[in-house]
Amino acid sequence: MNIVAVAACTSGIAHTYIAKEKLIRAAEERGHRIKVETQGTIGTEDELTMDEIKEADIVIFAIDIAITGTERFEGKKTIKVPTNICVKAPKQLIEKIETELNK
């Protein structure tokens, strides 16, 4: 599976980056490709390209706040979860997405 994600927490620091790392680790352990964009206090980092978005099977919004650029994801399958889900249960989240996409 090819996954793209955006992570953004209320303070734009800790949970944003922890969620990113946990998502990457969980997805790669299950054999998936993933790229995670962060939107935080220092702006957008690792911005997703239109090609990366186009090739994605699913978009994960691991967000606690409103983000910019959501129009880029129109027409894509998306899931929105709070960052703490990615921090506390990233493997379960990836497994749930796998199940939903295989229905």
The catalytic residue positions are: 9
CA distances to 8, 36, 76, 86 from 49, rounded to whole Å, are 18, 11, 14, 22
d(C-alpha 51, C-alpha 86), whole Å: 24
